[in-house]
Amino acid sequence: MEWPIAEVARMSGVTARTLRHYDEIGLLPPARIALSGHRCYEEPQLLRLQQILVLRALGVGLPEIGRILAERVDEVEALRGHHRRLLAERDRLDALAATVSRTIAELEESRKDGRSMTTNRPENLFEGVRPSQYEENMRDFPELAEEVGRRAATMGPAEAEAGHRRRTEQMIRLAELMAAGIPVDAEPAQDEIDAQYRTLSEMRAASADEFRAIGRACVDNEVWRAAYEAIAPGLAAYQRDAMEAYATHRLS
């Protein structure tokens, strides 16, 4: 049995344009090309597409996916490996969501009491969030990544904790603006983005294009998006759009 490209696109949620791109780069050739010129796919190609989509969901880039699939591992063994990765990612995201939820509760409590946020175990702030998980995510911004790494290497535990708390507070404030229906280009939202940009500028000033790219990564990068969505659904896109507006109106 075979399926035309349009049907595969419908079943998988992947656009026909993306399927053609996968063919062009040798990642997913069709079983055959009909006389009409349309690509046709059979069961082996559907299984391969499933593996591609699972690996993409795990944040693996297309070149690396190509190398993984080129090893020609048995489909069942490959799926077992993907399953283990998915379970590990689920556990990591659960830990991240719990960390953010706990931090929100502590921030709210500290605001009521008018005191600084404290925790019995400061390291709890970083469960599910480890610097090594972000190194790959910064690959598109090598100069900025270098500055971030150099800055992180000089930070003590107390300073790292304060930085994490400040970033979480910023995310919460932005989520509150989003919930209130404040447009991304309105002054309250732009003031929050300005504070973020100034913090970034303490390490290295970002250009308008670079700041836009970082904003897009809030949605396109699986790890970053999960951190924002753990605060509030839709926050990643709100952050991206607010950064785009800031880059356009204040940096360009």
- Domains along the sequence of the chain with CATH: 3-72 (1.10.1660.10), 78-251 (no CATH)
Chain centre to alpha carbon of residue 140: 13
Q: What is the pLDDT at residue 185?
A: 94
Q: What is the pLDDT at residue 24?
A: 93
List CB contacts of 73: < 8 A, sequence separation 6 or more.
Answer: 81
102: nearest Cα among 124, 120, 128: 124
Q: Which residues of the chain have pLDDT under 50?
A: 117-136
Report helix angle 187-201 to 157-179, nearest 10. 160
Q: What is the pLDDT at residue 111?
A: 67
Count Cα neighbours of 87 within 13 Å in the Cβ-side half-sphere: 6
For residue range 31-71, list pLDDT tens digits in order: 999 988 889 999 889 988 988 888 887 667 788 788 888 87
Cα–Cα distance, 90 to 86 (Å, whole number): 6
| Residue 52 burial (10 A CB sphere; 0-12, 13-18, 19+) | buried
Q: What is the pLDDT at residue 148?
A: 63
In the sheet with 39-41, reading across from the earlier edge strand, the strands are: 3-4, 39-41, 32-33
